[in-house]
Structure formats: structure tokens, C-alpha cells
Structure 1
Amino acid sequence: MDRNERRLKQYQDAIDASNIVSKTDVKGYITFVNDEFCNISKYSKEELIGSNHNIVRHPDVNPKVFRCMWNTILSKKVYKGIIKNLAKDGSVFYLNATIIPILDEDGEIEEFVAIRHNVTEVVVLNERLLAARNELKELNLSLEEKVLDQTKELIELNKSLEERIALEVNKNEEKNKLLFQQSRLASMGEMIGNIAHQWRQPLSELGIDLFKMKQQIDDKESFVAIYEHAKIVIKNMSKTIDDFRNFFKSDKEKELFFISEAVNDAFTMLRGTFKKESINFDLVNKKDVEISGFKSELSQVFMNLFTNAKDAMKETPIKDKKLVVSIQKSTNYVIVSIFNSGKQIEKENLDKIFEPYFTTKHPSSGTGLGLYINKMILERMGGDIDVKNLKNGVSFSIKLPICKEV
């Protein structure tokens, strides 16, 4: 026996030891069975060899299965399938069978080799699961019938409740409509109040300019300077109306601008007042930064903070009135600090000053909306605002995302 024959013999032995193997002739008569086939079928080799393979056929199997099997293997194709079988002692076993036609040199079928695996436990377990599922299905059907009966009772019970709910819904809809109208009126009131608050200071600036014009009418150069400042104030007052009209629009396009531009625009509006109140204004521009946002709205933020600072310093008897704006750049943000040497904010009010309608001023001097709208503007630009008391005054801190550095 050469090397290839020995190896082939080993392969055959391995298959024979691990599988249930049988061979039949072209008419289905058994010509070979291994020990595993005898063990599971409970027949001896002498009883099996020479017998037709249907000796282990289970009567429950549909004849169509075997017709399909024979049609497949007689057409020289491999058949695969799970087949229910009957042992000699009446026990049932299931085999996952692969039946292979063996062809001679002329390509004609010589015999069939069947290699099988015992899947009885898996099939039995699956049958038990199916039986359990059927039981659950029947149980569910009975439960569904009970649920249907109870549902009918609930439907009858809910009819009167639905009618009552419908009445309450109609009442609530009428209330919501009324609240919506009231909300619109309140929003308009807030807008008008804030415009009045924002315009109060520019009007004061115009009053100062007109007074100076009266005093300096003989000085043409001074007159022209005062006249130009008055025009700027009027232009900004007009733009304030547009800003508030567009404040809640979502389709506004952002612009690129430098922080210092918005600070200087606000200072220009209040320059006359600062001079009159002897307020020293200083812009510490450590690193000017370009951002993307709404410059006019940010100028309104600074003007509101400058105006509040002026009012705070008026309430404190100090000689050295300072308003210092500092621009600093961090990794991803620009930090703008607005310091004033005025009266400190009461500790219990520090967490409230950005809430709508909260104010420590007299109703004729403030609406309590300025800082609230400041916060809204900054948050819409991706920023935030904070405040803290210092030993010699108050500092507001504005944080805005950087667009690009100059």
C-alpha cells in the first residue's frame, strides 16, 4: 500500500468513526453500513446489507420528500436534508443527511454514499419549543378574548369621559388663544420699553450737544464737531429701531468685525455724557480680535453696560470715575472685560441681574430688560456674559468665539 492509499484509508476511517455512513446501489439497496448506522438504527449489519434503505423509513414522512431526494440524486446532484427515521425498536431518530452520487469512468451512477449526522436532540427540542409556543398562542387567544370584553366595558365607561374632555379641551383652546394674544401684547410692550430705555441716553446726548451748540455758536470749528456728533447719535438712534425690528429674525446674515469697532461705536454715542460726568474711559486693546456676528447688536450691549456703569458711578461719591474696557484673546475665545469704579452690586442680586424685568433702578429709569437682552444677543452669537464684584468696583466679562485673528 503506497503513501496515498494509506492516507486515503485514514480519511475513510476518520469519516467512518465520526459520521453515520451507508452506501446503496442505484436501486436503493444497502451495500454498506458502518457501526454508527447500526447503533442508531438498532439493526445489525447482516439485517441491513441487502435490504432496501426504506427499512428505516418513518411512515409519517411525506412521500414527496423521498421523490424529491431520488430526483435529485438520479440527476447526479448532491441531496441535503433532515430526514425522520424509525429504528428497529420503534424509537424515532432524525438524521441530517448528505447523499452523494458516485460516478464511474463513463460518468454513469455507480452507487450512492450517504453521510449523516444525528440531530435528534435538536429536532426534539425544537418540537418542544413549537409545542410550548402553540400553548402560549392558545393562552394569548383566551387572554385576548378577556381583554376584548374588558375593553368593551372601558369604551362604554370612557364615552362620557371623552365628552367631558372634549368640552375641557375647547375651553383650554379658548384660553390659549387669549394667552397668545396677551403674550404678543406683552412682547410688544417689552420691545417698546427697551427701545425707550435705549433711546433715553442718546436723547440726553443730543440735549448736551444742542446746549453746547448754543454756547459755541461763535466757534465754527466747535460747532461743526458738535454737529457731526449729533448726526452720529441720530443715525444710531434710527438704526436702533431697525435692530429691534430685526432682533427675532432667524435669516439675518452675520458679518465680520473687530471687537474694538463695536466698543468705539458705543463710546461715540456716550462720549459727551462721559465728559460731562467726568468719567475716564480707557480701552486696553491687548490683542484686537475679529469675530463673526452682529456688530450693531454688540454695540448696543456695550452701550447698555456703559450706561449702567455711568449710573452706578453717579450713586457713589468718588472722585476718580473709571470705565476700563479690556480685550484679551484666549485659545478659542475673546474675553472683553468692562470694569467700572462705581457702586458694587448687592450679593443677593448678582444671580438675578440677567433675569427679565429685574432692576434695582426706579421704574422711570429702567425696565429690567437691558441686561436680559444683552445676554440673549451674546448667546445668539455663541457667547456669554458674567459679572462679579471687585474690591474697587464691578467687572462684567463677555466671552465670544473667535472667528480669526488679525
Structure 2
Amino acid sequence: MIKQYIEKIEKNNIVSKTDIDGKIIFVSDAFCEISGFNRNELIGNKHNLIRHPDMQNENFKKMWDTILNKEIYKGTIKNLSKNKKAFYLNTIIFPILDKKDNIIEFVALRYDITETFIANEKLEKKDKELKKLNLMLEEKVKKQTMELLDLNKNLKKRIQSQVEKSSKRERIMFSQARLASMGEMIGNIAHQWRQPLNNLNITLYKMKKEFNEDEQKFNKIYNEAKNLTKKMSDTIDDFRNFFQPDKEIETFYINETIDQAYLLLEKTLDNDNIKISFNTLENFKINGYPNEFSHVLINIINNSRDALKDKKGEKLINIETKAFHDKTLKECLHISITDNGGGIDDEIIDKVFEPYFTTKHQSSGTGIGLYMCKQIIESSMHGSISVKNKNDGACFTIKIPL
């Protein structure tokens, strides 16, 4: 019974036996089939006949140390068939002992795992290839990303540099053209204005010399006219000085400057039935250019007058001053000039400080008034000026550092 069992095992499994020296003394049909050798070629030879060159000596040393120590060896061995084809066998080798516990032979049972092993090898190879490819892609993406970031950074710098150069060049050209144009215009005004003023002064002098009746009343009229002509003359100088970089800053009181601006416009406002009020709790003292600041007030009030003169009903302009804390300017003087002239169209309110922008006819407006106001407040007095619609009119806000 045992003999039959052994025969069936040997017939259907990859079995071999060797003597104590490792020479083959038996092989099963399955062994011959997988190796490609017949029994006559195998019997008497060692298993080196089917040893694959990939198998290192260390593997076989370990195997022999194990079985000579009367222990069972288990391992996967790569072999080479007669037709030079590799095959893989899961191998179990155990010694056969006699009654005296001496080794008389070795039996090796093997199981073919070639297909599984090759499939695993292919999978491992693909896995390594994929890992290598993935690593290459990561490096490539990283490299491309760095190149794109550098390119974007350099491009951004170049664009920013070009924009700054272009903007600076345009601003310089723009300012030069506008300043040259305004300077020429003001020079012409000055030339044509002074002669009539001189003639007016001569006429007033002659009138005083020849006038004998009600001298007190005449002197009052004469002094008003004299002050007006002086103010007109000063205005010309102020406009001309506006373009000079070496102007000296003065300390002045805001209330006096507002009063001077009002005196120049009083008769014009009265003729149009426009009431102007002034609210303040303190006579603030600021540093800057009083005459230029007066022009700003006159210009804004004149704009309010233009908006009010054809209005029916009550016509009001209110000037209010107060101390104010601004995020940018810190402690400053806050001046608001408000009218009830209907306000400014929302579509153009953001453009009113642009040079040569005007809603008036060319004969009555050049479009430089509010532009010059902005230049005076921001460039000369380091403040800010803005406008918004409030209630039923426009409200100009000026902030000057205290």
C-alpha cells in the first residue's frame, strides 16, 4: 500500500533522489518532462546539470548546510532546461536516515511555479518601470513648473518694468504738455490783463484828483476798486508762481483766506441771489500757499455758482471747517463746500478733476480749473480733494494736514 502511494507521488510530481554526494539516483517522469533531459542523462549526474547561472553559490551552500544538518530545506530555485529555458520550482529537500540516524539519501519534492513567477517578474518589472516613469514625470513636471515660475516671474517683472516706464513716460509727456499749455495760456492772460489794470489805476487816480463832492463815499469806492485791482494783479502772479518749484510755504489762518475768497465773489453771488454761509468752531492755522488755496476755493464756489444761477428757488452754498483724523493724513483740517445745485451726473463725477474735462461751452470753460485745484491741494499742500453728490447738490471735500 505504501509502495503504491510512493509510486503515485513519484509519477505525478517532480521528484528526484540523490545519494549522500548529491548524485542523482532517481527522477520522476514529471522531472524529466520539465527539465527536458531523459533519465539516462540525469542518473549519475548532479543537479548542476539544470542549474541556472543566475543562482549564486551562497544559495546552494545554505541548502547543503541545512540538509546535512538533517533538517528540511525549503526554497525557490531557478533552473535551466536542456533547451536553455528557465523554469522555477518551489523545492522541499529532506534527508532519509537509516536506523543509526545516518543520512543515506536525499529526496527532493518540487512544484512548478514558473508561470506564477514569470507573471510576478513581469509585474515587478512593470512596477519598476512605472515607478521610474513616474519619477521621471515628477522630475520633469517639477523642472517645467520651476521654469514656468521663473518665466512667469521674469515676464511679470518685464511687464511691470515696461508698464512703469510707459506710465512714467506718459505722465511726464502729459504733465509737460499740460503745463506748457497752461503756462502759455496764463502768460497770454497776464500780458493782456496788466495793461487794462494799469489804465484802470490811472483812471481811478484822475477821478480822485478831480472829484470834490462826498469825498468819503468816493474814497470808499476808490479803495474797493484799488483792492480789487491789486487782488487781480496778485492773482496773475499767483498763477505764474504756480509753475515755479521754489515757492516758499507760509503759515496762514483758514478763516481769513475763506473771507478773502468770498469778498472777491460777493457781488457776483449777490447778483445771482446765491446765499453763502460759513460754519466753523475754530480759526485753524495751516501751512501752505494762501493765494493758491484761495484760488481753489474761488474755483469750487464758481462751479457751484454755475450750477445754481439758473435754479429756481433758494440757492445755497455752505462752507464748513472742522478738525478731522484721516487714515492717511492723520490729523488734518476738513473743509466741505456744499451746494444745492442738483449735483453732478454719476457718469462724469469721476472725471471732473481730469485736465481739459468740462461740461461747459468752450467759450465759458477750459476744463483746467478743478485739475489745477487738485494739483494745488495734492502736490503743493500734500492734502487730498474729492467730490460726491450729497442730498440735492455736490459736496467738495478738502483735507489739509495740520
Q: State the TM-score bracket (shorter-chain normalisation).
A: 0.3 to 0.5
Kindly indicate whether structure 1 or structure 2 has the higher relative contact order, using CA contacts under 8 Å at least 6 residues apart. Answer: 1
Report the structure number with the largest CA radius of gyration: 2
User: Which TM-score applies when normalising by structure 1?
Assistant: 0.47
